[in-house]
Amino acid sequence: MGARKEIHAIILPKVKEPFLKRPLDVLLSTLMLILSAPVSVIISLAIKLEDGGPIFYRQERWGRGGKRFRAYKFRTMVSHSDKVFGIKQAAENDLRITRVGRILRAMGLDELPQIISIFLGDMSFVGPRALAVGEILHDENGYQIDYEKVPGFWDRLAVRPGLTGISTIYRAKDISPRKKFRYDLLYIQNLSFWLDVRLIMMSFWISFRGKWETRGKKV
């Protein structure tokens, strides 16, 4: 399995990004890192005071061209959740999520540390969701599946993964990976600077309204 992943990392094609996409990422990530610093301090204290566990959650994720990178988020689940329950997405009323975590997830504030990944170029503000390496996924019938075998998985790695995107905003959280990937491929097919700007503005609006944990459409 490891060898197959390395081969994909070498031969996967990359889609050319709009000229202003990367400059926008650098400018916006720099501003947000500065402006969000006081908020990040408050969040860190709240996480630590709740249960004394780690402030950050780190995870290996799939990046552009099959390259892997280390992503960081503010921890929203109980300590050592991955070791106990496995790497899987949060479900509705998930008991792994802490009280502070529920607030952070609703407003998307748990994603703030990923702005560093955007600044470094591992991610973009807009793109397909950065899937975790070894993440446990299930189909509509609840059966565990290997997402590397889901149509569209490797194609979506042609662009940088994003903090937000068409799939993140418009899809229901509980639809199948195959349907999620279709949204990602739709974004790649319609890739443009102005589409990114529109999706970023919509994402700020969703954060302001605290709707990121809504199971259906968020707008």
Which pair of structure tokens corresponds to residue 36? 């969000």
Range 33-49 average pLDDT:
96
For 7-27, how does the pLDDT look when each residue is reduced to its tens digit (9 = 90+)?
444 456 788 999 999 999 999
What gap in Å lies between CA 152 and CA 94, rounded to an integer?
A: 28
* pLDDT of amino acid 4: 45
Nearest in space to 22 (alpha carbons), one of 113, 130, 127, 105:
127
Query: pTM of the predicted model, to two decimals?
Result: 0.86
- Average pLDDT taken over every residue of the chain: 86
What gap in Å lies between CA 86 and CA 168, rounded to an integer?
A: 22
For 78-118, how does the pLDDT look when each residue is reduced to its tens digit (9 = 90+)?
887 776 666 667 666 677 889 999 999 989 999 999 999 99
Percent of residues, the chain, with pLDDT higher than 90 = 54
* pLDDT of amino acid 7: 43
Nearest 5 degrees, angle CA 98-CA 95-CA 63?
75
What gap in Å lies between CA 203 and CA 89, rounded to an integer?
A: 20
pLDDT band for position 5 (50/70/90)?
very low
Burial of 1 from C-beta contacts in 10 A (0-12 / 13-18 / 19+): exposed
For 133-162, how does the pLDDT look when each residue is reduced to its tens digit (9 = 90+)?
887 776 666 677 777 788 888 999 999 999
Give the torsion sign (CA, 127, 116, 89, 11): positive
Range 160-187 average pLDDT:
88
Q: Look at phi and psi of residue 95 and say left if phi exceeds 0, alpha if psi is from -120 to 50, else beta.
A: alpha
